[in-house]
């Protein structure tokens, strides 16, 4: 079975980065990656206490992953071009392959809670390092430039999440545990004059 995206993700985990043209995948493979990442996020949210239809949670997280990755790839392409980098092919394939390390995160749930939280934090940091380093090596930009762009994108990702959670809540899908949603609603009510 020939799955170049999986092989590229393993190579990226080993920090073996190829040319940007190598990370151009068929749409079906990219959609499969987003669906898989969405399922893992939905399972994690359900394990944390999110209620509602599992299919609706999976669709929510798949759509969120797709939108966030697409926006991030577009933003980083724009950001790196401002630094003079010549980027012809899209970055979305590279970012999707580098993000596959997130599939290891559910495995830490088998460990005790304090160890699982620490390991999950380490996996998140490794995933960020791989995404930043891979973009820096394939585009020729400095690591600081890529990291700066990633940090500048963070508010956009937060706004996207807030808007998506609001839309999901209006449709009856509870993405987060009810206690967390009530606390957020109370804090929002207190902050408005």
Q: What is the pLDDT of residues 144-171, one digit of tens each?
A: 999 999 999 999 999 998 888 888 877 7
pLDDT-wise least confident of 1-15, 71-85, 89-103: 1-15
Q: Can you say how many angstroms the Cα of residue 140 is from the centroid of all Cα atoms in its chain?
A: 23
What burial class does residue 19 get, using C-beta atoms within 10 Å of its C-beta: 0-12 exposed, 13-18 middle, 19+ buried?
Answer: exposed
Cα–Cα distance, 14 to 50 (Å, whole number): 34
Number of domains in the chain: 1
Q: What is the pLDDT of residue 149?
A: 95
Q: What percentage of residues in the chain have a pLDDT greater than 90?
A: 32
What tokens appear for 166 in the block? 């609001």
Angle subtended at Cα 116 by Cα 129 and Cα 92, rounded to the nearest 5 degrees: 30
Q: Which residue range(s) make up the domain with 53? A: 4-191
Assess contact for 92 and 66: CB atoms under 8 A: no
Mean pLDDT score across all residues of the chain: 85
Lowest mean pLDDT, pick from 2-16, 42-56, 123-137, 172-186: 172-186
Question: Is residue 69 scored above 90 in pLDDT?
Answer: yes
Distance (Å, rounded) from C-alpha 146 to C-alpha 171? Answer: 36
Residue 45's CB: how many other CB atoms inside 10 A? Answer: 21
Q: What is the pTM of this model?
A: 0.85
How much is the pLDDT for 186?
A: 60
């Amino acid at each position: 079975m020939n799955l170049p995206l999986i092989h590229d993700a393993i190579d990226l985990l080993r920090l073996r980065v190829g040319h940007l043209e190598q990370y151009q995948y068929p749409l079906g493979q990219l959609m499969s990656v987003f669906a898989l990442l969405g399922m893992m996020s939905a399972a994690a949210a359900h394990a944390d206490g999110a209620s509602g239809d599992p299919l609706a949670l999976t669709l929510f997280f798949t759509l969120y992953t797709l939108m966030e990755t697409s926006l991030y790839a577009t933003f980083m392409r724009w950001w790196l071009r401002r630094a003079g980098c010549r980027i012809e092919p899209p970055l979305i394939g590279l970012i999707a392959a580098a993000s596959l390390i997130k599939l290891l995160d559910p495995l830490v749930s088998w460990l005790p809670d304090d160890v699982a939280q620490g390991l999950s934090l380490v996996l998140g940091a490794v995933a960020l390092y791989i995404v930043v380093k891979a973009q820096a090596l394939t585009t020729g930009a400095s690591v600081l430039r890529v990291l700066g762009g990633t940090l500048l994108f963070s508010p956009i990702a937060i706004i996207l999440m807030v808007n998506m959670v609001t839309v999901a809540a209006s449709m009856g899908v509870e993405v987060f545990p009810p206690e967390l949603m009530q606390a957020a609603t109370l804090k929002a009510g207190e902050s408005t004059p």
